[in-house]
Amino acid sequence: MKTLILLRHAKSDWHSAAQSDFDRPLNPRGEKAAPLMGQRLAERGCSPARLICSPARRARQTAQKIAREIDYPERQIDYVEEIYEASRRTLINLLHNLDDRDSEVLLIGHNPGFSELAAWLSPAAPDWLPTCGLLELELPINAWAQATEGCAELRCYDYPKKRP
Query: pTM value?
Result: 0.95
- Which domains does the chain carry? 2-158 (3.40.50.1240)
Residue closest to 64 by CA, chosen among 114, 25, 102: 25
- Please report, in angstroms and rounded to a whole number, the separation of the first and last CA atoms in the chain: 27
Q: For residue 133, give Cα distances in angstroms to 21, 103, 107, 118.
A: 20, 21, 12, 12
pLDDT at 13: 85
pLDDT at 40: 97
pLDDT at 163: 73
pLDDT at 164: 65
Alpha-carbon distance of 77 to 51, in angstroms, equals 5
Burial class (CB in 10 A: 0-12, 13-18, 19+), 90: middle
Positions of the chain with pLDDT under 50: none
pLDDT at 79: 98
